Amino acid sequence: MTAAHPSESTLAPGSIGQAPGYSRTRWGSTTITTVYDGALEIPSSGMSGESEQRITELLADGFLPPEGDLMTAVNTFLFELGGRLVLIDAGAGSSLGPSVGHLTENLQAAGVDAADIDDVVITHVHPDHICGLTTADGSPTFQNAVVHLPELDADWIDSAPVRGVDGLEAQISEWARAAIAPYREHGRLASVAYGQEAVAGLTAIDLSGHTPGHSGFLLDDGKPILFWGDTMHCHPAQLRAPQVGTEYDNDHACARSSRTNILEVIRRNGWAIGGAHLPFPGVGHIRFARDEPYWVPVPYRPLQSV
């Protein structure tokens, strides 16, 4: 075989790049814009809570290789609420390499100026959710925004190094403290406890375990949708087997029970989901059929009320 593949020989450089990383979904009276930050590896070697064989089977049922999902989406969500422009999570910034950290360019592609964002609501303090708050030189990405941190995570990052736990926890805390530093300095850092509203109409839900203050945020204007952070990293495995955790869960037992409990709450209430690591654009429903939940994403379609 000597001829080059058509994609190598006939297409101009750059012409096979992906479409811009944003997508809009009409949700009741709200328009949710998913803004893509990039892709991260979630290897199966870091999964626990089930046998290796069972995890491999679950991955295979999701058409994933035994190694896991090596291009897991990192999504953020933008919407207007009570006249304020709200962003859920800030992406990885420059913390985790070039596969992520594309939030700003994708916001621009969506026609949104970062300076127009009023509130950035953080689900938890891990780098792929918080480090995009600042640019590589430490300046605030969102010049006019108030940053809302889960209260227990805010306490955690201020106390973790003092507790002298392992290097990873200290590194996470250091990154997170650097990411919030300019906001703290200018009095634009707020904390939100479970059950409280970060912004009027957006309520923090206890999803603790992944981190001590890991939070979901429920937007309910008649068509409720829960934005969860890292309740699931690999939904083909974890939806059907919520006992499966990842190495990124800080307290494995607590993360497992949070995952199991929230699935029951979602089933009972019919909440939709916006997921940081669900496939882009990460908005959809969980269908509970014969006790086995599966993911039903929203389709790409024109904006209209549904």
Question: Of 134, 230, 232, 234, which lies in the binding site for Zn ion, with binding defined by CB under 5 A?
Answer: 230
In whole angstroms, how close is the CB of 124 to Zn ion at the nearest point?
8
Measure the CA–CA gap between 70 and 68, rounded to whole angstroms: 6
Instruction: Give the DSSP H or E segment for 128.
Output: helix 127-130
Q: For residues 64 and 276, which CB has a smaller minimum distance to Zn ion in the complex?
A: 276
CB 90 within 8 A of CB 133: yes
CB 129 within 8 A of CB 75: no
In whole angstroms, how close is the CB of 40 to Zn ion at the nearest point?
7
Residues 118-177 that bind Zn ion (CB under 5 A): 128
Q: For residues 188 and 236, which CB has a smaller minimum distance to Zn ion in the complex?
A: 236
- Region of 92 on the Ramachandran plot (φ > 0 left; ψ -120 to 50 alpha; else beta): alpha
Q: How many residues bind Zn ion (CB under 5 A)?
A: 2
Q: Which stretch binds Zn ion (CB under 5 A): 55-63, 225-233, 235-243, 253-261?
A: 225-233
Backbone angles phi, psi at 145, to 5 degrees: -90, 150
CB 148 within 8 A of CB 190: yes
Residue 193 identity (one-letter amino acid): A
Q: For residues 119 and 128, which CB has a smaller minimum distance to Zn ion in the complex?
A: 128
Residue 37 in contact with Zn ion, rule: CB under 5 A: no
Q: For residues 132 and 188, which CB has a smaller minimum distance to Zn ion in the complex?
A: 132
In whole angstroms, how close is the CB of 210 to Zn ion at the nearest point?
8
Q: For residues 89 and 119, which CB has a smaller minimum distance to Zn ion in the complex?
A: 89
SS3 185: helix
Among candidates 82, 116, 92, which has minimal Cα distance to 219?
82
Q: How many CB atoms lie within 10 A of CB 136?
A: 9
Q: Which stretch binds Zn ion (CB under 5 A): 60-68, 138-146, 163-171, 222-230?
A: 222-230
In whole angstroms, how close is the CB of 72 to Zn ion at the nearest point?
9
Residues that bind Zn ion in the complex, under the rule CB under 5 A: 128, 230
